[in-house]
Amino acid sequence: MSKLLVTGASGKLGKSAVTLLLANGVAPGDIIATTRDPSKLADLAAKGVDVRAADFDDPASLSAAFAGAERLALISTDALDVPGKRLKQHQAAVNAAKAAGVKHIVYTSMPNPGPESRITFAPDHRGTEEAIKASGLTYTILRNSWYNENLFMSLPSALQSGKWFTSTNGGRLAYIAHVDCAAALAAALASDNTSSEVLTMTGPQSLSYAEIAALASEATGKPIEVINLTDDQLAEGMKAAGVPEFMLPFMLGIEANVREGHFDLVTDDFEKLTGKKPSPLKDFLVANKDALLAAPAGGGH
Ligand SMILES: NC(=O)c1ccc[n+]([C@@H]2O[C@H](COP(=O)([O-])OP(=O)(O)OC[C@H]3O[C@@H](n4cnc5c(N)ncnc54)[C@H](OP(=O)(O)O)[C@@H]3O)[C@@H](O)[C@H]2O)c1
């Protein structure tokens, strides 16, 4: 079998994807797992996975790290602190993959990353998709919808106060389970498909915040009233609740993106890729009922 490489393999998605590759029968010696800190992957190394150091901020580290890989999963980094930094990291990874002889790139993007997106970091994904297409390598771009797990940022305080403030104004979002994104990544990487595709990974239903609140209430037995505000009103409330000012454009961008419908899409791409149905949000809410009911860390809005 050709060698399959996963970058960022000590992150949550990377680790799950490598674990799934092994569970699906890929030989450990056919997997290269790269990370900035190989000591975090001693468990995988002990199983025979080829663990190597790779840091996209250090392009010189990438040629040895990527050597011998035929298909490479490029996991988008979490470097959102400096605008443009993440795109530069990803461009370095794409260039290094090409130079190392990688044939196919799988990349974790986001739904509708075009100029219409209100997500502050959409340009990173758009630019990375463009760099991959320009590289001449074949690719599978996985536009992953919002993880269910992101609801831990809003639902615990909504469940505690009984109120969920939003400016999404009925807009919808098809949340997806993190584990389903890992399964999609593992399937795309291990596939022998060498055509280029852009696939959007979504959960089975696109839901408004009122519909999500109803599901969360059903799962926990606690009512939530969804209160629609303007962006300005929401920003004031967030500030009063202690959300740092620098976070506001990011958080309001998500609200606007949902309101304007850029996340309102359900596809069957996940099922086509993995042969399985994506798990419904309801299952996540039921499975995480106790954690959602635990008091939110910082009070909150
Ligand atoms: N769809 C969504 O709702 C959603 C939510 C959150 C994040 N994301 C995106 O999905 C990605 C994976 O999610 P996750 O749950 O695995 O997040 P995570 O656990 O926070 O992982 C962060 C990832 O960034 C990698 N990374 C950071 N700096 C790097 C660098 N200089 N060079 C190479 N890799 C670097 C890390 O790799 P190592 O530590 O192993 O080096 C790790 O794989 C995130 O990084 C983010 O881009 C999507």
Residue 165 has phi, psi (to 5 degrees) of -85, 135
Closest-CA residue, ligand 1 atom 36, reads: 8
- 4-144: CATH topology: Rossmann fold (3.40.50)
Q: Which pLDDT score is estimated for 299?
A: 41
Rounded mean pLDDT, 133-161: 97
**What pTM was estimated for this model as a whole?**
0.96
Mean pLDDT of the chain: 96
Rounded mean pLDDT, 198-217: 98
- What tens digit of pLDDT does each residue of 53-80 get? 999 999 999 999 999 999 999 999 999 9
Residue type (1 letter), 116: E
Rounded mean pLDDT, 86-98: 98
Nearest to 14 by CA among 30, 1, 31: 31
Nearest to 44 by CA among 82, 11, 81: 11
If you measure from the C-alpha of residue 230 to the centroid of ligand 1, how many angstroms do you get, rounded to a whole number?
A: 31
Nearest to 35 by CA among 17, 4, 14: 14
Q: At what angle do helices 122-135 and 85-100 cross, to 10 degrees?
A: 20
- What tens digit of pLDDT does each residue of 170-203 get? 999 999 999 999 999 999 999 999 999 999 999 9
List all residues whose CB is within 6 A of at least one atom of ligand 1: 7-14, 35-36, 55-57, 75-79, 89, 108, 144, 146-147, 150
- pLDDT-derived band at 295 (thresholds 50, 70, 90) equals low
Q: Find how far residue 237's CA is from the centre of its chain.
A: 27
- pLDDT-derived band at 83 (thresholds 50, 70, 90) equals confident
Task: Tell me the domain boundaries of the chain.
Answer: 4-144
Strands 207-208 and 172-173: antiparallel
